[in-house]
């Protein structure tokens, strides 16, 4: 069983940034990525809010993911395309069990990310990045003077709906109930916004479009009637699921599955740090995930200097 200095679980912005910093510090680094590197950013058609990227033209999510990977591998980070199934052991000698074999690592950075919950309707995944989005901060600017739909009734949905009014000419919030999980203060702010309209006791049954979003089918829960509603974009905010199920009781998580970390990105287990969406309830941005990854890597490097 090969022993390495640092195992990074997850190849999104957090994991790749951590890999870059750690490899550049001459650590023996292996990044474990179950699919293709990049994480949630690969679902974004255009990225123009990462400093220095897309100054002249936006860059696609997969393109920036490949740049991150190339940069990390330039300094010696290795990529193992295999899902991590279990982690055990203690600082200095962690056992990492993957689908393709086992590894031993002195330290670990967890960055498996999270996945936005899907409605599970026709057109949702087919048009993801082509008018369907799970991030208003990322994609709102592409909908200037256009009409969009927001799906959800929690704080995230209402806050993002308010944010979208900076760009969109109209924001229609579709919620399956009349009652909201959003806090009264945020909800009242949205109700006072003249750009926001409401479709309550309603669900979206289908997203339509050829190469881009053109309309949605909205069903009234009371009458059962379904109508075609024209829109240029659909923003879905019904929650996220952190990809932390494989950690079970080894790492402390909250009730939603997010990994608990301190300001240094440390987990409850010595020698293990966490970064990115799997431990970020609020921001879920490319740049904040990258920053978390760098913090985790720097603290890991310092830990190894003291304990190796």
Active site residues: 135, 138-139
Q: Which residues contact 223 (CB under 8 A, 6 or more apart)?
A: none
Burial string for 219-251 (b: 16+ CB within 10 Å, else e) reads beeeeeeeeebebbbbbbbbebebbbebbeebb
In the three-class reduction of DSSP (H, G, I as helix; E, B as strand; rest coil), residue 253 is classed as: strand
Nearest-CA neighbor of 72 among 33, 99, 106, 42? 33
- What are phi and psi for residue 101, nearest 5 degrees? 135, 175
Whether 113 contacts 31, CB under 8 Å: no
| Cα-trace Rg, the chain | 21
User: Measured between alpha carbons, how far is 32 from 42 in angstroms, rounded to an integer?
Assistant: 17
- The two tokens of residue 23 are 């490899």
Whether 173 contacts 167, CB under 8 Å: no
Burial string for 58-74 (b: 16+ CB within 10 Å, else e) reads bbbbbbbbeebbebbbe
User: Measured between alpha carbons, how far is 20 from 301 in angstroms, rounded to an integer?
Assistant: 12
In the three-class reduction of DSSP (H, G, I as helix; E, B as strand; rest coil), residue 195 is classed as: coil
In the three-class reduction of DSSP (H, G, I as helix; E, B as strand; rest coil), residue 299 is classed as: helix
């Amino acid at each position: 069983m090969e022993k390495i200095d640092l195992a990074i679980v997850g190849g999104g912005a957090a994991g790749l940034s951590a890999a870059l910093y750690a490899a550049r510090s001459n650590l023996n680094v292996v990044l474990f990525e179950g699919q293709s590197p990049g994480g949630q950013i690969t679902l974004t058609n255009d990225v123009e809010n990462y400093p220095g990227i897309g100054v002249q033209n936006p860059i696609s999510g997969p393109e920036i993911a490949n740049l991150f990977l190339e940069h990390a591998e330039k300094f010696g980070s290795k990529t193992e395309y295999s899902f991590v199934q279990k982690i055990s052991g203690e600082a200095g000698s962690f056992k990492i069990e993957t689908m393709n074999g086992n590894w031993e690592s002195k330290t670990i950075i967890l960055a498996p990310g999270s996945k936005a919950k899907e409605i599970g309707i026709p057109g949702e995944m087919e048009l993801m990045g082509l008018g369907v989005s799970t991030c208003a901060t990322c994609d709102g600017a592409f909908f200037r003077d256009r009409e969009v739909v927001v799906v959800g009734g929690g704080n995230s949905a209402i806050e993002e709906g308010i944010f979208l009014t900076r760009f969109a000419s109209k924001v229609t919030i579709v919620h399956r109930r009349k009652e909201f999980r959003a806090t009264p203060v945020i909800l009242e702010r949205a109700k006072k916004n003249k750009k926001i309209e409401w479709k309550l006791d309603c669900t979206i049954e289908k997203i339509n479009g050829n190469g881009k979003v053109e309309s949605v089918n909205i069903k009234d829960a009371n009458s059962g009637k379904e109508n075609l509603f024209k829109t240029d974009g659909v923003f879905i905010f019904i929650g996220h699921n952190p990809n932390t199920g494989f950690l079970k009781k080894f790492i402390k998580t909250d009730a939603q599955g997010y990994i608990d970390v301190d300001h240094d990105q440390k987990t409850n287990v010595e020698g293990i740090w966490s970064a990115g969406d799997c431990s970020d309830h609020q921001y879920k941005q490319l740049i904040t995930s990258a920053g978390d990854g760098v913090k985790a890597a720097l603290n890991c490097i310092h830990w190894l200097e003291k304990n190796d």
